[in-house]
C-alpha cells in the first residue's frame, strides 16, 4: 500500500511539493488525482486539473504547430496575458515542437496547462531537464499564475522544493 491515511488539501494560491525517491509513489499520486487510476479505498476530489510533464517533447505531437495543439484543448481568449506570464513570444506558437529549445517548449507546456484554466496544476518534474537559469525562469512563470490555481509539484530536488513550496510533503 503506497498511501495509508494520506490526506492533502490544496487551495488556490498555494504551491505544495511532493518530494521522494524514485518508486515512492509520486507519479502514482498524480495518476490517482487525474482519475487515471482508482484508489482501493478512500476518495479523491479534484476539480479541473491540468498537468505539465517532465519531457515537453513527448507532450506535443511533432507534426502540428504549438498553437494548433493548444487550441485543441484550451481557449486562447487570454493568450496574450499567459504568453506574458510565461515569457514566451507569440511567434513561437506557429512553430513545430522540434523548432524550439527545451526551455521554450516547457514554457509552451505551462502556457497550454494554464490556458486550460485549472483549479489544480500538476507538475511532474517540470524543470529537471533544464539548466539552472531556465529552471528558475520556468518556476517563476508558474508562481506568477498562483492567484488563479493551486500547484502540486513532484520533484527530487529538495532545494527547488524549499525555494518555491509553501509546504513540502515527503513520501
For the chain, state the CA radius of gyration. 16
Q: Which residues have a Cβ under 8 Å from the Cβ of 149 and sit 6 or more positions away?
A: 12, 114, 118, 119, 120, 121
Q: Which domains does the chain have, with CATH numbers?
A: 15-170 (3.40.50.300)
pLDDT digits (tens, 9 = 90+) for 59-110: 999 999 999 999 999 999 999 999 988 889 999 999 999 999 988 998 899 9
**For position 3, what pLDDT does the model report?**
66
Tell me what the mean pLDDT of segment 149-167 comes to. 92
Q: Residue written as cell 517548449?
A: 105
CA gap 54, 16 in Å, rounded: 17
Write the DSSP string, 120-149. Answer: EEEEESTTTTS-HHHHHHHHHHHHHTGGG-
pLDDT at 111 > cutoff 90? yes
pLDDT at 1 > cutoff 80? no
Evaluate whether 111 touches 82 at the Cβ level (below 8 Å): yes
Give the 3-state secondary structure of residue 163: helix
pLDDT at 130 > cutoff 80? no
Three cell numbers, residue 91: 511567434
Calculate helix-pair angle for 132-144, 102-115, nearest 10 degrees: 10
pLDDT digits (tens, 9 = 90+) for 8-66: 888 999 999 999 888 777 888 888 888 888 888 878 888 889 999 888 888 999 999 99
Amino acid at each position: 500500500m503506497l498511501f495509508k491515511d494520506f490526506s492533502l488539501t490544496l487551495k488556490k494560491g498555494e504551491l505544495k511539493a511532493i518530494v521522494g525517491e524514485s518508486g515512492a509513489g509520486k507519479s502514482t499520486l498524480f495518476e490517482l488525482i487525474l482519475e487515471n487510476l482508482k484508489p482501493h479505498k478512500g476518495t479523491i476530489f479534484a476539480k479541473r486539473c491540468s498537468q505539465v510533464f517532465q519531457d515537453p517533447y513527448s507532450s506535443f505531437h511533432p507534426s502540428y504547430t504549438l498553437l494548433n495543439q493548444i487550441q485543441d484543448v484550451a481557449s486562447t481568449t487570454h493568450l496574450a496575458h499567459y504568453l506574458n506570464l510565461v515569457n514566451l513570444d507569440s511567434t513561437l506558437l506557429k512553430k513545430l515542437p522540434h523548432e524550439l529549445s527545451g526551455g521554450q517548449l516547457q514554457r509552451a507546456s505551462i502556457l497550454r496547462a494554464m490556458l486550460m484554466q485549472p483549479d489544480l496544476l500538476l507538475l511532474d518534474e517540470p524543470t529537471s531537464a533544464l539548466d539552472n537559469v531556465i529552471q528558475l525562469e520556468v518556476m517563476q512563470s508558474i508562481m506568477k499564475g498562483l492567484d488563479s490555481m493551486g500547484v502540486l509539484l513532484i520533484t527530487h530536488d529538495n532545494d527547488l522544493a524549499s525555494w518555491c513550496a509553501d509546504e513540502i510533503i515527503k513520501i
